Structure 1
Amino acid sequence: MTKFSTLLCGIAGAAALAALPTAASAQDGRSARVLQLPENITLFGDTLPPVVKATAIVNGEIITQTDIDQRVALTLVGSPPPSAEEYRLLQQQVLRNLIDETLQIQAAAQEEIDIPAADIARALERVVQNAQMETVDQLEAFLEENGSSLRSITRQIRAELAWQRLQQVKIADFISVGEEEIQAIIDKMESARGTTEYRVGEIFLASTPANEAQVRQTALQILDALRQGGSFAAYARQFSEASTAAVGGDLGWVRPEQLPEALGSALRNMAPGAVSVPIKIPGGYSILALQDQRQILMADPRNAVLSLKQVTVPIPEGSTTQAANALVDRFAAAAAEVQGCGGAERLAADFGGTVLSADGTLVRDLPPALQPMMMEMQIGQATRPFGDLNEAVRALVLCGRDEQQVSMPSRDQIEQQKREERITLRARRYLRDLRRDAIIDYR
């Protein structure tokens, strides 16, 4: 049973319990006969909407239980089924997110910021493409099948667009970066040449002394979901209270010293692909995901662009393990003696194989086991064989390599990055002020 069928079964189960006959319903049946209603009737008009419960009223605007349930279902797409406690915590977080979205949309409206339907439509089209679907109708059907709705995802898109444009009006237009500051950054980068920086994702959960234990528990629940295969970007968009939530928590390339000390220390001990435990920092907890690392202003050999030929040799059907190993040994010896890229076709012909050309391949896009080997190879050499003894073995012949050229970022790029950092910080404070000044009635 999937997470979606589990939720739907829960709804169906509640309906079934409500339908069980009781003494009261038997009495109601006798009353119905007094009305002399026919057995078979035809209904006219629209179906009555489900009962909608107001869960919170934010400055007069209602957030219903339906809103929460549909957003929870949207969040759970592609995630393992949650436990009852995880589901409860997710509902609470979703309610907080919906309150923030409502405040953001209201604040934008006060500044007479309108989000055209065309902008929302374009954003929906991007969602459709990212989900590898063909039409918005297909996305809508998928969401409804999984307990959510197009309205739920449209509300989230509207809030994100409104918040971005509100930041532009209230914050970005008043941010400036001086020439002296830019020069200081350039000097600092030059002095840091060769040191390591990291591509980092962050999920930040704000906490106070009163709710710290609860927030930490929520962070641990998120970590558990991530370890079970949940999407870090998806959880960041839904849970993170940093302004980077809109971009999946992506902090970009940072150095440890740019982060709070606890985060910087953790980052230095992480390997690419790792996700940290919840880390206590001033104001809350952060979960980091290390996506990649590189040396500042130094060429990364994994960014070299390769021209390759792949030689594929099939393993004859019915071959014993001994026979397959013998074939691989002969192929390995021949590949080690291949005479340049032009020898790939001859190598394939000698073993009844095929050749596939692949230009424009980044080293970093190759399987991790092949990357160190490829970085040390010379033009015309072949890798050791790899593959499956039950199907086929392969070798890559290196035909060309274009090394990455690294230069200092332009002054405009540095200015833009510094502006974005300041916008992020002020946006977080702005949302905090909106929460503080809001009238929120929980029901």
Structure 2
Amino acid sequence: MLKKKFLIYFIFIFFILNNVSFSIENKILAKIEKEIITSIDVENEAKYLLALNESLNNFSKKEIFEISKKSIIREKVKNIEIQKQFKNPNIPDDFIEQILKNVYQKVGIENLEKFKQYLNYNNIDYDYVKERVEIETLWNELIVAKFTSKIIINENEIRQQLIANTKKYSKSFLVSEIFFATSDSKQIENIYNDIEKTIKNEGFNKAILTYSSSSTASTVGNLGWIQEEALNENLKTIFFEMNEDEYTKPITVPGGFLVLKINKIKEEETNQNIEKKINEIIAVKKNDQLNQFSKMHYNKIKKDIKIYEF
């Protein structure tokens, strides 16, 4: 079954990638500090993103171009900060390969060798993918080192809530996000009105592309499945009043604001192992807080970096 899924996806992506060329002429599109971004850089980024994100296939060439351009700008900004914070950063190959395993298994590929073949067949340099993984790994390491001490999780409160609210089934929500930042409180409503107008006219995915400054924009804002126990009380109340395909008003988070859309809702049998459930919830809450700190730190450093787009 896995091989069949991989073969179908392999053929489909090959067709898409070979029809995604944007321009024969190589132009300078942006300059970030001393680094430049060209149209070929963006085309390579588009191939990379399409190969790993099946959901991007529904976008037009122009939209994929914009997603790819924003994505590569984010990576350049992150890398500049990494170079400032780490002297001769080095990540063991076996650690990188483990992360890559998570990447290629998501698209139905069984092992690293087949993943390299898949990339080569679609004219994607393996070293390019490896470098992207290294940048994200070092960025995450930076965020963990900088903000772990600021994470607030009340394990006892989680335990008491689980014991008090034991039930046979619990809900999970498949969520997408739009993250935006503004220092002008008067602009929040205006930005949200623009987002809402885009959602109504062109869909939530288009609004993500246009307005979201989060790294999740390159995966169409996907946050994955979130269990109800991992939600704070405010967000749980909001989600329980929503239906599938509905979205929230702006929610204040560190560094900016979130608009969340519930794509799907499912009910599953509750895990009766309290200790295991507690550890799962702690991991989700910790990851959520680190993601918010990551967005906040990115927006902060981006303000201090000279970015010119042409």
TM-score bracket for the superposition, by shorter chain length: 0.5 to 0.7
Q: Which stretches in structure 1 are left out of the alignment for 5+ residues?
A: 16-50, 225-234, 241-247, 295-299, 304-403
Write the mapping of 1:12-411 to structure 2, written as runs, cut at 5 A: 52-77=26-51, 78-79=54-55, 81-82=57-58, 86-112=60-86, 114-116=89-91, 118=93, 119-133=95-109, 136=112, 138-146=114-122, 148-172=124-148, 174-175=149-150, 177=152, 181-194=154-167, 197-207=170-180, 209=187, 213=194, 217=198, 220=203, 222=205, 238-240=219-221, 249-250=223-224, 252-255=226-229, 258=232, 264-270=237-243, 276-282=245-251, 283-290=257-264, 292-294=266-268, 300=269, 405-407=272-274
Return closer, same or farther for 1:115/1:409 CA change in 2, 3 Å cut-off.
same
Return closer, same or farther for 1:260/1:202 CA change in 2, 3 Å cut-off.
farther
Return closer, same or farther for 1:188/1:135 CA change in 2, 3 Å cut-off.
closer
Return closer, same or farther for 1:150/1:437 CA change in 2, 3 Å cut-off.
same
Secondary structure, counterpart of 2:274 in structure 1: coil
Structure 1 Cα separation of the partners of residues 74 and 128 of structure 2: 14
Structure 1 Cα separation of the partners of residues 56 and 294 of structure 2: 33
Return closer, same or farther for 1:187/1:124 CA change in 2, 3 Å cut-off.
closer
Return closer, same or farther for 1:214/1:94 CA change in 2, 3 Å cut-off.
farther
Write the mapping of 1:406-421 to structure 2, written as runs, cut at 5 A: 406-407=273-274, 416-421=283-288
Return closer, same or farther for 1:73/1:239 CA change in 2, 3 Å cut-off.
same
Matched to 1:425, the amino acid is Q
Q: Percent identity?
A: 12
Q: How many angstroms does 1:94 deviate by?
A: 2.4
Q: How many angstroms does 1:166 deviate by?
A: 0.8
Return closer, same or farther for 1:87/1:439 CA change in 2, 3 Å cut-off.
same
Structure 1 Cα separation of the partners of residues 306 and 130 of structure 2: 24
Structure 2 Cα separation of the partners of residues 186 and 135 of structure 1: 39
Write the mapping of 1:415-430 to structure 2, written as runs, cut at 5 A: 416-430=283-297
**If each structure's helix is expressed as a fraction of its own residues, which one has the higher value?**
2
Q: How many angstroms does 1:440 deviate by?
A: 0.8
**Looking at CA atoms only, which structure, 1 or 2, has the larger radius of gyration?**
1
Structure 2 Cα separation of the partners of residues 164 and 412 of structure 1: 21
What is the number of residues matched between the two proteins? 274
Matched to 1:184, the amino acid is E
Q: Which stretches in structure 2 are left out of the alignment for 5+ residues?
A: 1-10, 208-215, 252-256
Secondary structure, counterpart of 2:175 in structure 1: strand
Structure 2 Cα separation of the partners of residues 185 and 6 of structure 1: 46
Secondary structure, counterpart of 1:194 in structure 2: coil
Structure 2 Cα separation of the partners of residues 108 and 4 of structure 1: 33
Matched, 1:442 2:309: yes
Structure 2 Cα separation of the partners of residues 129 and 237 of structure 1: 18
Structure 2 Cα separation of the partners of residues 256 and 128 of structure 1: 27
TM-score by length of 1: 0.50
